[in-house]
Structure 1
């Protein structure tokens, strides 16, 4: 049966007595907040489109045509993910175009100088040669861009956010782990500027995923735009909404909206932040979407904001640079943009084959000590090792060691022993016999929420 070991009313840390803070949620609040199912994909979601390409920055007239008027809006006929728009700024007496400007860059994979025919306007026959740049890619006519550096527009939750390549922002410390970018907007249509760097993420609007398919870029370093449109994009679909872009390998260049709409930082009282130190389960291996893994589902059920720091293959006995658990804590919690109120230590499965119990104990104690040093007000909660195929002797040994360490260090221990077992493994464990299936992530997430709700 799952076991939770509760904290004592007091603990000693060196010569300083630290009293427990009052539980963040009253029992009534917990009953109100804890969901018994995972948060689904939103009903009536917007339409998302991810496109790679470059945008028009200027045009030269290859054929002036005839019959055009100043103010005509012309659309190039070249194949594109999103078409650009050319604005006629001057004509001669016969309506031949004499000057034109780009009002929307579009998104093109073919960036050759071959003249492009156009549709629209009052005339015919005009052709233009275009000059393209990656940063000009656009899916909105005459967009208003909120750059990645705009602190009045965006709230970053991550580790020393900074440019990881020219014009694009990510984690300054281990960009391969999660970053969250939040903002609010009243627009019915917008697009994100991204760069190809193996990004994997998901967009949440008002707390729900807009799609069951993750956002993925390649590693080319090419420009991407992620276009999101509610309904037909008209003002009938305008509403104030809260946006969260959650992902790893982040390369974020900003967000563009039509001129009449805006973006602003969601400065308001928010739910408590929880930080997770984990392994491949925390990465989301086995889940359809990385942000829909067991820990994220637990957080959603509990009403917590969550940032997951998962590294595949990691454990308390890890010795590789960047994987040693106490070093990960120092790197991440030493540079995180907001100190968490809860810290979850969610490892142990990868330590079972090694059997290095003394190293496990040393690193675990150091991990807890560093966590307490950097976040003295945070509640640390330890989650037991997963049992994807049921109980085995090595995992049982790690579980017992964790329980003993939690007793020693006065930490709550959430025991997931045999939640997934020999009887239900076909439902909840994938073909690799290690990672959860998508249903397994949901099962574990909901069960974890119910168990953790007795502690926080």
Structure 2
């Protein structure tokens, strides 16, 4: 029997989780994972009717459930929303920004006018109302994925489809019946102002399952113009569902790496503020492609140092490392070398590792556990790699979510 490892939550910086009592997190086990045929299935009930209108006026008699931090006025009430995938939610200044929240839990941890450093997150709540109106501020990149009772209505992120960017819009969802249901919204670039419900309906909080799963890396996780919905449309949210986690933190930044800052900062320079501060239960690190033209000794030292910092600061966190991405059937020498460098660093830290170049999976002690072949081949590259020759397409992210999930499962105990 595994020894349960205590995880102290008292110093967490993001509200509800910080107030939670100390708990115990057991090892990730195969027998605890959900049935993939069920958890990744589309919603099988009658689809709700969804309309989006540029207006700040709700249906007459509806009550506004505000997110935490927004000042209540009139008949407004505080909404018991379960905020997931991000923390440190903040309001803006002035009208209408002071009535909208956005998270600031990713580098550089800032909140601008109707923008923030973290565009991808989720919220969940339960309601027995027949209709809800979600108050958002439309941005040109606004997108969402709606779930009912744990089942997604669509796999890909859906563009919000508003009229004028920067203006309040109502996303009206008519369910067709007034029964209790759990509602989840994965959102991207969508300031949130609350939910209007008829006075006969109620709203209450939910509890996310599967612990906090975080991904740390570059645009392969943070998204590109080759996929819809930014980071919420990449492999990560899909893999998170397959691995049974509801609290999915996408802490990646495009263009970054172990030694490459891009427009932000290197992974080692932001690991303390972006990862360690928010205490994930599980962490997937995927980077290296933006580094592959650099010094292998520098990449190895940066990776080893960061892994040691994570291990010392988050001893209860299960960490899984993915090697260097290869978007072509024949890997360049620099990509092969970077992949090998990261494999050695992961083994030194005692972290399981998978190579996208070969498909080989290594256990925490560096032992080869199996290989299922390269992720990108001459046969699938055209469908899975976008027109830019680097980033995965929508289909590519679906595929990668399966490959990554399979690799992680291979390292898990029964």
Determine if the TM-score, normalized by the shorter chain, exceeds 0.5. Answer: yes
State the 1:323 CA deviation. Answer: 2.6
Contact 1:37 1:301 in 2 (8 A): no
Unpaired stretches in structure 2, ≥5 consecutive residues: 1-24, 69-76, 111-115, 358-373
Specify the SS of the correspondent of 1:331.
helix
Contact 2:304 2:346 in 1 (8 A): no
Deviations 1:307-357 (A, max 9, x none): 212322222122356432123322223554xx32101101112222x3232
Which residue does the alignment assign to 1:28?
Answer: 31
Whole-Å separation in 2 of the counterparts to 1:207 and 1:444: 22
Contact 2:149 2:183 in 1 (8 A): yes
1:230-309 map, 5 Å: 230-231=175-176, 237-266=177-206, 268=207, 270-285=209-224, 286-290=226-230, 291-305=232-246, 306-309=248-251
Contact 1:160 1:335 in 2 (8 A): no
Deviations 1:106-125 (A, max 9, x none): x3xxxxxxxxxxxxxxxxxx
Which residue does the alignment assign to 1:215?
Answer: 160
Asked whether 1:137 is paired with 2:57, we answer yes
State the 1:296 CA deviation. Answer: 1.7
CA RMSD in angstroms, aligned pairs only = 2.6
Which residue does the alignment assign to 1:323?
Answer: 265
Whole-Å separation in 1 of the counterparts to 2:307 and 2:164: 36
Shift of the 328–432 alpha-carbon distance from structure 1 to 2, 3 Å rule, reads same
TM-score in terms of structure 2 length: 0.75
Whole-Å separation in 2 of the counterparts to 1:246 and 1:190: 16
Shift of the 426–241 alpha-carbon distance from structure 1 to 2, 3 Å rule, reads same
Whole-Å separation in 1 of the counterparts to 2:302 and 2:165: 38
Whole-Å separation in 2 of the counterparts to 1:207 and 1:368: 34
1:167-206 map, 5 Å: 167-172=99-104, 173=109, 175-177=116-118, 178-197=120-139, 198-206=141-149
Unpaired stretches in structure 1, ≥5 consecutive residues: 1-20, 53-106, 108-135, 232-236
- Pick the aligned partner of 2:49 from 47, 50, 65: 47
Structure 1 or 2, whichever has the larger Rg, is: 1
Shift of the 22–192 alpha-carbon distance from structure 1 to 2, 3 Å rule, reads closer
TM-score in terms of structure 1 length: 0.68
Which residue does the alignment assign to 1:448?
Answer: 404
Q: Would you say how many aligned residue pairs link Structure 1 and Structure 2?
A: 341
Deviations 1:22-43 (A, max 9, x none): 5332x4334xx25269824423
- Pick the aligned partner of 1:161 from 82, 89, 95: 89
Which residue does the alignment assign to 1:403?
Answer: 343
Contact 1:346 1:383 in 2 (8 A): yes
1:284-433 map, 5 Å: 284-285=223-224, 286-290=226-230, 291-305=232-246, 306-320=248-262, 322-333=264-275, 335-336=277-278, 339-352=279-292, 354-390=293-329, 391-417=331-357, 418-433=374-389
Shift of the 402–334 alpha-carbon distance from structure 1 to 2, 3 Å rule, reads closer
Whole-Å separation in 1 of the counterparts to 2:162 and 2:312: 37
State the 1:252 CA deviation. Answer: 0.9
Higher relative contact order, structure no. (Cα contacts within 8 Å, ≥ 6 residues apart): 1
